[in-house]
Amino acid sequence: MPTVRERIRECLRAGPRTARDLSRDVGIPERQVADHLAHLARSARPRGEQLVREGPACLSCGFDFPGRERSTRPGRCPRCHGRRLTLPRFSLAPR
């Protein structure tokens, strides 16, 4: 039986997923996904892969959170203070 991280790795290889998608697909709480993604980012390099992150964006003004490294969704937009934000998406790609 594959481990949680192996199942997450397979989901990420299939295409971009949000933490919410991964939580549902793997069957773990969404809060635990960030820790697993941090570990997968470190362990992907020796496997010849890299964790690709598509950052969140504000749906109200279009702000795209440049340089944000966290795996979690921000609380609000720093430009317009809106709360309608897309979720960050993750995938594994060959290096």
**Quick one: which of 53, 49, 58, 47 has its CA closest to 33?**
53
pLDDT exceeds 90 at position 71: no
Separation of alpha carbons 56 and 51, rounded Å: 16
- CATH number, domain 4-94: 1.10.10
Q: What is the DSSP letter of 59?
A: T
Alpha carbons within 13 angstroms on the beta-carbon side of residue 90 total 27
Q: What ranges do the domains of the chain cover? A: 4-94
pTM flag (> 0.75): yes
Region 49-60: what's the mean pLDDT? 94
Task: Tell me what pLDDT residue 95 has.
Answer: 86
